[in-house]
Structure 1
Amino acid sequence: MIVEPAAGRPALSLPEVSTVTTLRQRNRAVVLKHVILAQETTRAAIARECGLSAASAANLVADLITAGLVEERGSVSSRGGRPITLIGPRADSAVTVGADIGERGVAVEMFDLAMNRVDREFHGGAAEESPERIGAGLHAALEALRERNARRWPTLLGIGLGLPGLVEVDPDGRQILYAQSLGWPPVPVTSLCDVPGVMVLAENGAKMQSRAELWFGNARGCDHALVALLGRGAGLGVVSDGRIARGSRSSAGEWGHMVIQRGGRVCRCGNRGCVQAYIGADAILSAWRETGARFEGTGWRALGELIAAAQRGDRAAAGVVDDVVDCLGAALGGLVNLTGPERIIIGGWVGLRLMESLGDRIRAAIARHSLARPAGQFTLHGAAFGGDGVATGAALLPLEALIAADPAGHGRTAGS
């Protein structure tokens, strides 16, 4: 079958038409992502940054304006010519939701299309949660957001979940969470979150933080990076060639369960000597408690007390801090040799607490455990998103699905 050509042009076969259509859709996706990342840009900048002709960039922007995904935002003066029109994402056209799901609760955040946070809700707080309690807390948080944002809820693109474990897709297409460290059985993601008519996507929490840092944070523009998430556990996102490494079944980056001492401390996963058994929050505070220290809590404040005590000259506290810094340096130093990163980014509440006052020592410890050449080729940063990194990265999953689909309107999941 041949498609009738325009006058004076050769006919295109169906495969050729399909190729042209696919290329146009790909270019629309590239332009939409560029606009969202830039927040404000121009048609000329879109053409230059996306490798398009001026005419193609203008046509694609027109398509996205018609689809209601981007908008014109006034103008800026040019050098002697007409004012230049600014282009940005149309923030009110859609919302996306991201959830940071931990073993002790859920933090759920709603964002507009420009990735401005609109609302947030937290549920949980029990000493130890089960999949059933996590699912109930997530449902309650989503209901609260829906009720408070009833007008915008119909534009929901989808829900992204950052989960504490491996997330794989089984032969039936179901997403399954494997949270070995928590002692949970394999958990279908739909048992945690199943909202009729709404796309739900899930991935490991450390990869979600990495996604946020890669899009808008301290890994932006970086082709090779390590993004560590330190909390009660330890996770990692490996950025290689500008993409987050997933491995054959999405398990790449399970750095928290890399063994750094044979026959060492017992880890919650059941193995011995894992990274998490030395630099996870429970491990750090247990080590301090074993010195005879007395303190309250198991979170941010307790870790701050440890660091403050070490800085005051408490020898026991200083010994614990020295050990944590050295273990973190060894665990990341080996990865410097293995992956050759441009940047190392440390986040999660434990990571941020450590980076507040120990960043220089951590940088030195990583270098000490690396070969000299790669040790001199990376910079160390704290996570740009603080405690919101996982939820922000999770909210990007539905947005990435929109961009990967036909951004002119095909494939939208809600509010289309």
Structure 2
Amino acid sequence: MSVEPGGRPVLTLPEVSTVTTLRQRNRALVLKHVILAQETTRAAIAKDSGLSTASAANLVADLLTAGLVEERGSVSSRGGRPITLIGPRAESAITIGADIGERGVAVEMFDLAMNRIDQEFRGGAKEEEPERIGADLQEALVALRDRNAGRWPTLLGIGLGLPGMVETDADGRQTLYAQSLGWPPVPVASLCDAGTIPVLAENGAKMQARAESWFGSARGADHAVIALLGRGVGLGIVTGGQLLYGAHSSAGEWGHMVIERGGRECRCGNRGCVEAYIGSDAMLAEWKAAGGVFEGTGWRAMGQLIGAAHEGDPAAARIVEEVVDCLGAALGGLVNLTNPERVVVGGWVGLRLMESLGERIAEAIRRHSLSRPGGQFTLRVATFGGASVTTGSALLPLEALIAADPMSEKALR
């Protein structure tokens, strides 16, 4: 394993002949095309990958032999022989993604076609320390392994979406820095030690952005910002078709961008951060201080706040209006800064807001951005909802397979 300049771990190919390396990279390109398309043809692979038809056919043959893709019948052509469809061989491998927060974990298992085949949850309503979170994760993994013992040997790896910045050192060791939670630096290995099974971790908002870029509302966009709104607030930035990492993988810490000097106190210790205005705890605390009564601190409570605003409750209406304006200002600044073609809003708070306030949010973003870039984006709600982080995390081991030679014994385990 090596580390990209942005701090992201990658599997690297050995130094071999140029011809062999090129063939490996082209196989990886074809495999990713097939997984993204779900069903495709050799001709479409050649066109999308910039390969000759003969080269595409040979590479598909390699992947068929390896059992990573399969033929799925055919469709008629114009006057010629039927065209065979190619798709990922779902049962050939599994991958696991975990959404890890301070209150517990959600762990999901996917096949090679990224169909969800099992899931497990641990934790509850109370905040937990890293040691307990690690125990929750281990219990969830054991439960999945026991229910899927026959498929467990095909596990590609475990991806973790974490609530903070994840840095990777030159030796591939990863560390979580969760300042907002008051945690000390946490070695990722202490949260998940899976023996010989690869474990890869990244910030949860980046994992949502990966899922939305592969299969969701940011798919096909070379430039996008994908916001995750929950108790915390995060962001993934896609530029030139690539997820932005920065020098040490902390790019996208938008939740702690100051939008009001000397403003509300934030969990990170600063004042006036985006999260201090549009994070769920901040919104609900403001409503409670104004006399609002609600159940819990999650999905239902946020729905009650928005519902009360729609029904004319003055305090709720004021708070929701402030939230829309703050979100518009924060995203409007990003529109000016990054000139995205798409702005995607996700996370459970984001989904609640977009249900009935999408048009108002779009108007607020444009009001707070320059007219030219403000007229060049479309606003979309995230496709994956609450499963976005687990889905994106499960793509980490899959990307490692694709980045390595898909035909190697090490990649196929």
Q: What is the alpha-carbon distance in structure 2 between the residues aligned to residue 128 and residue 29 of structure 1? A: 41
Q: Which moved more, 1:167-176 or 1:317-326?
A: 167-176
RMSD (CA atoms): 1.2
Residues 10-41 of structure 1: CA deviation (Å, up to 9, x unaligned): xxxxx997111111111111000000000000
Residues 174-231 of structure 1: CA deviation (Å, up to 9, x unaligned): 1000000000000000000011110000000000000000000011010000000000
Q: Which residue of 2 aligns with 1:10?
A: none
Q: Which residue of 2 aligns with 1:313?
A: 312
Q: Which residue of 2 aligns with 1:84?
A: 83
How many residues align structurally? Answer: 400
| Residue identity matched to 1:157 | L
Q: Which moved more, 1:256-265 or 1:165-174?
A: 165-174
Shift of 1:77: 1.1
Q: Which residue of 1 aligns with 2:245?
A: 246
Q: Which residue of 1 aligns with 2:131?
A: 132
Q: What is the alpha-carbon distance in structure 2 between the residues aligned to residue 196 and residue 236 of structure 1? A: 31
Shift of 1:172: 4.1
Q: What is the alpha-carbon distance in structure 2 between the residues aligned to residue 56 and residue 384 of structure 1? A: 35
Contact 1:402 1:411 in 2 (8 A): no
Contact 1:108 1:141 in 2 (8 A): yes
Does 1:285 pair with 2:264?
A: no
Q: Which residue of 2 aligns with 1:266?
A: 265
| Residue identity matched to 2:127 | E
Shift of 1:173: 2.8
Identical aligned residues as a percent:
77
Residues 34-61 of structure 1: CA deviation (Å, up to 9, x unaligned): 0000000001111111100011000000
Q: Which residue of 1 aligns with 2:21?
A: 22
Does 1:31 pair with 2:1?
A: no
Shift of 1:290: 1.1
Q: What is the alpha-carbon distance in structure 2 between the residues aligned to residue 154 and residue 17 of structure 1? A: 29
Shift of 1:126: 4.0
Residues 119-148 of structure 1: CA deviation (Å, up to 9, x unaligned): 000000141111011000000000010011
Q: Which moved more, 1:162-171 or 1:254-263?
A: 162-171
| Residue identity matched to 2:60 | V
Matches of residues 199-278 of structure 1 in structure 2 within 5 Å?
Answer: 199-278=198-277
Q: What is the alpha-carbon distance in structure 2 between the residues aligned to residue 70 and residue 16 of structure 1? A: 27
Q: What is the alpha-carbon distance in structure 2 between the residues aligned to residue 171 and residue 270 of structure 1? A: 30
Q: What is the alpha-carbon distance in structure 2 between the residues aligned to residue 156 and residue 360 of structure 1? A: 43
Q: Which residue of 2 aligns with 1:165?
A: 164
Shift of 1:409: 2.6
| Residue identity matched to 1:305 | Q
Q: What is the alpha-carbon distance in structure 2 between the residues aligned to residue 247 and residue 157 of structure 1? A: 27
Matches of residues 108-119 of structure 1 in structure 2 within 5 Å?
Answer: 108-119=107-118
Q: Which residue of 1 aligns with 2:370?
A: 371
| Residue identity matched to 2:219 | R
Q: What is the alpha-carbon distance in structure 2 between the residues aligned to residue 26 and residue 56 of structure 1? A: 12
Shift of 1:410: 4.0
Q: What is the alpha-carbon distance in structure 2 between the residues aligned to residue 43 and residue 396 of structure 1? A: 24
Contact 1:226 1:345 in 2 (8 A): yes
Q: What is the alpha-carbon distance in structure 1 between the residues aligned to residue 223 and residue 168 of structure 2? A: 26
Shift of 1:86: 0.5
Matches of residues 34-113 of structure 1 in structure 2 within 5 Å?
Answer: 34-113=33-112
Q: What is the alpha-carbon distance in structure 2 between the residues aligned to residue 127 and residue 188 of structure 1? A: 22
SS for the counterpart of 2:117 is strand
Q: Which residue of 1 aligns with 2:301?
A: 302
Q: Which residue of 2 aligns with 1:404?
A: 403
Q: What is the alpha-carbon distance in structure 2 between the residues aligned to residue 409 and residue 341 of structure 1? A: 38
Runs of at least 5 residues in structure 2 that lack an aligned partner in the other structure? 1-13
| Residue identity matched to 2:162 | L
Distance 1:271 1:361, change over 3 A: same
Residues 372-399 of structure 1: CA deviation (Å, up to 9, x unaligned): 0000000000000010000000000000
Runs of at least 5 residues in structure 1 that lack an aligned partner in the other structure? 1-14
| Residue identity matched to 1:370 | S
Distance 1:16 1:98, change over 3 A: closer
